Structure 1
Amino acid sequence: MKTKYITLLLLCTSTFAWSQQKETQVQLERRKQQIMIEIKSVQKLLQVERTKERNILSEIGEYNRKISLNKQLIKNVQQQINTTNNTIAKTQKEINTLTAELEKLKADYADIIEKSYKNKSSQSRMMYILSSDNFLQAYKRVQYLKQYAEYRKEQGEELKEKTIVLNEKVDKLNLEREKQKVLLNEQQANQKELEQDLIAQTDLMNIVKKDQKKYNEEIKKKQQETKEIDRKIQQLIREAIAEANRKAREAAAKAGSKTTKSKSSSTSAAFELTPEGKLIADDFKANQGKLPWPVEKGYISLPYGDQPHPVQTHLTIHNSGVEITTEKGTNARTVFQGEVLQVQVLPGGNKAILIQHGDYITVYQNLSEVYVKKGDKVSLKQSIGIVNTNSSNKTILKFLLTQNADIKNPQSWLSRSN
């Protein structure tokens, strides 16, 4: 009986541990699929760039991204291999324990069968009862024979149960070993691809080194254009805030109500919020880290803030938002409900849309076509325009987020996956 309870406890414990392990494996597999989708997207861009006029800096940037993703993929698969190895070791230990228990149980059961065989005739059992000294002893012998028969039945059932559990464990072990083989093959393929990408990246870097002055000038020119656009966006935000406040004061004067100036801004440009505007701002703030991405598919190709240039690492570049690389023809979409503050053509000819959410503003930059106009009310995930595709066939949306005129890091506001 005791061994039966031990087997049940072992089965329950291993099932719980397996469910936890399975959950971890599911999370790792989900993340692996996300990384692989990004790698395919980057690989597609690299293939397209090779068919067009070659942009070395752009190509190196894509290789940097692909190498980073491949390293993440290798780490992810290694974690899966480690998890599988742990499962194999644990399952093998359980099989060894069950096998030992089963062997002992078989020996005990064989002993019971042998004893039963010696006393199998009904005449022997009857003589055993009739030879009792008194009625009480006869009664006890009858009960003993019943219990012995029941014990024999239980031992037989336990033998069957342990055999089933053992077979299940062996099947699980074989499955995990097959999974391990697949993962090891994946890891070898990923490592090989990483090595090839590193060679290609080194070749491109050598080309840049031969004409470093030219590429430095190209980078500085690009940064100057970016700064000019950033200044234009800041100007648009301040003008939009001033106009929104003027309209809010006029509306409040007609209604006999008051507006409240936002206190969160370190600058003089701050929204004067109506009670409704404050509710929207509070709701927007409550969704920090949970906002949907401004495109359905894509990856962050240039994060927020100061950082070394991906090619010329001695140069520091600044990004006021995040640049999200996506597919050609992709629509930009709103990350929250709000009102269109401004639609503006930027230096270079592309358009930007500013949307107000209380005292927060989201900016969708580098659009070739827009679907909304100033004053429009927009809903969550509404398509507002087409992201521009440049001459290198790159489709990049620049997304900014401010509270009043204070720039925030958009990455901390967007959900971790799109």
Structure 2
Amino acid sequence: MSSKRFYILFVVGFLASSTSLFSQSDKQKKLEAQRQQVLKEMKQINALLYSKKKEQKSEITLIENLNAKVSARENLIRITNQQANLLTRQINSNQKEITSLRTQLQELKDDYAAMVVKSYKSKSEQSKVMFLLSSDNFKQAYKRLQYIKQYANYQKEQGESIKTKTTELQALNIQLSKQKEDKQKLIEENRIAKRELEKEKQQREILMASIKSDMSKFSAQIKKKRQEADRIDKEINRLIREAIASSNKKAGKKTSTGKFVLTPEAKKLASNFQANKGKLGWPVSRGVIKGKFGKTRSLIDNTVEVNNSGVKIATEKDAEVKAVFNGVVHKLFIVKNANSGIMIRHGNYFTVYYNLSKIYVKSGQKISTGEVIGQVFTSRVNGESLLDFRLFKDKQKLNPQYWLSKY
């Protein structure tokens, strides 16, 4: 292989492997960030759902708490597996790169050794002078002089290439050792996580068996909860329809699309709200999502469908509730046989904060991001503090999890 061709192949190969390594490194960083997020969530679950030993929780509440824990643990195992698999690919890639580097390094050393021998045999200044003087003309002598210089420079470059390759090989070996250590650590952490997961699933099964022995009692509780949820949904939907109709009437517009006709000011506010998707602050300082958005099957009775219009955030006792974005308080409302709520309008978006024991704002009041607007209701029966948080665009329900920032 010619030196020039070898150099080109080396550069191309180095750039390709570097791009791959950078890409894998970015993936690993993202996965580690996700893993740390889940670990933080699990700490919140333990702190908020399992710290109150004295309070007697119902079997349904205990099942919900365990399910939140199991779900987080399964997520942790999944992410850790992804990290371990990515590390395996990186280790294999580095091992191949090390083998290739060793081969290239040996070729460089052999080539360099041959040059040294050749240089030694013709090292005398006299031989170089004779080489120049034997030229047929000045042009040939000049070319031979250039060749001597180029050859000397090439020797120097080969020496530097050997040093560079050696350093690169040493760095890869260190990186490989670190990757193997990291992988082993992840495997051990996953082993522990899987043992804990099995324990939690067994606890859940024991609770489920207890519940099934008296299913009629718990079916009545589930039915009562669903009826309450339906009343809340109907009231919030009614308030939103009224808000759209009233707002559009004031603007002198009639629309049957069920959407707001926005003023320039409201349009700007809505645009700013939209731009903060995934970055909105949480409505409580400490919280964990216990009830997720959308349709799911009841944990107690899988023949019953549960449809959450928002998310239920478990938080601390009497926790303060904060507005997630600038807006105007549209309505304070109370649902029959239930608790209070606040609706804040952000252009054609609404955020709803329900299950409050105290309210600190009034209708029509301008609200700033992070402003305290009320206090979460804490159940005297089981000590549970659950904020029902919802998000709408016009009449459309949105999943708040996609809008709130990561803790």
TM-score (norm: length of structure 2): 0.86
Are positions 1:174 and 2:177 aligned together?
yes
2:312 maps to amino acid: E
Q: In terms of mean alpha carbon deviation, does 390-399 or 98-107 score higher?
A: 390-399
Compared with structure 1, are the counterparts of its residues 331 and 135 closer, same or farther at alpha carbon in structure 2 (3 Å cutoff)? same
Choose which of 29, 33, 39 in structure 2 pairs with 1:30.
Answer: 33
Aligned equivalent of 1:372: 361
Aligned equivalent of 2:193: 190
Q: Is the 8 A contact 1:350 1:368 kept in 2?
A: yes
Q: CA deviation at 1:286?
A: 4.5
Q: CA deviation at 1:291?
A: 6.6
2:115 maps to amino acid: I
> 2:34 and 2:102 mapped to 1: Cα distance?
37
2:271 maps to amino acid: D
2:263 maps to amino acid: P
- Could you give the per-residue CA deviations for residues 132-162 of structure 1, whole angstroms, max 9, x where no partner exists? 3756576665554433323322221221121
Structure 1 gaps of 5+ residues are: 253-257
Q: CA deviation at 1:413?
A: 6.4
> 1:144 and 1:240 mapped to 2: Cα distance?
87
Structure 2 gaps of 5+ residues are: none
Aligned equivalent of 1:264: 257
Compared with structure 1, are the counterparts of its residues 371 and 142 closer, same or farther at alpha carbon in structure 2 (3 Å cutoff)? same
> 2:57 and 2:265 mapped to 1: Cα distance?
49
Q: CA deviation at 1:284?
A: 7.1
> 1:176 and 1:355 mapped to 2: Cα distance?
49
SS in 2 for 1:51: coil
Q: Is the 8 A contact 2:48 2:316 kept in 1?
A: no
Compared with structure 1, are the counterparts of its residues 414 and 27 closer, same or farther at alpha carbon in structure 2 (3 Å cutoff)? same
Aligned equivalent of 1:255: none
Are positions 1:217 and 2:220 aligned together?
yes
Are positions 1:279 and 2:282 aligned together?
no
Q: CA deviation at 1:383?
A: 2.4
TM-score (norm: length of structure 1): 0.84
SS in 2 for 1:311: coil
> 1:414 and 1:147 mapped to 2: Cα distance?
63
Q: CA deviation at 1:361?
A: 3.4
Q: Is the 8 A contact 1:259 1:275 kept in 2?
A: no
Aligned equivalent of 1:294: 283
Q: How many residue pairs align between the two structures?
A: 401
Are positions 1:107 and 2:110 aligned together?
yes
> 1:338 and 1:396 mapped to 2: Cα distance?
23
Q: In terms of mean alpha carbon deviation, does 408-417 or 279-288 score higher?
A: 279-288
Q: In terms of mean alpha carbon deviation, does 387-396 or 10-19 score higher?
A: 387-396
Q: CA deviation at 1:366?
A: 0.9
Aligned equivalent of 1:414: 403
Are positions 1:92 and 2:95 aligned together?
yes
Q: Is the 8 A contact 1:369 1:387 kept in 2?
A: yes
Aligned equivalent of 2:120: 117
SS in 2 for 1:171: helix
Q: In terms of mean alpha carbon deviation, does 304-313 or 408-417 score higher?
A: 408-417
1:41 maps to amino acid: Q
Q: CA deviation at 1:277?
A: 6.8
- Could you give the per-residue CA deviations for residues 269-300 of structure 1, whole angstroms, max 9, x where no partner exists? x87x5735763685378459457243454343
- Could you give the per-residue CA deviations for residues 176-225 of structure 1, whole angstroms, max 9, x where no partner exists? 11221121112112211111111111121122122222222222222233
Choose which of 340, 345, 349 in structure 1 pairs with 2:329.
Answer: 340
> 1:396 and 1:340 mapped to 2: Cα distance?
21
Choose which of 310, 319, 334 in structure 1 pairs with 2:308.
Answer: 319
Compared with structure 1, are the counterparts of its residues 5 and 259 closer, same or farther at alpha carbon in structure 2 (3 Å cutoff)? same
Compared with structure 1, are the counterparts of its residues 343 and 158 closer, same or farther at alpha carbon in structure 2 (3 Å cutoff)? same
Q: CA deviation at 1:398?
A: 0.8
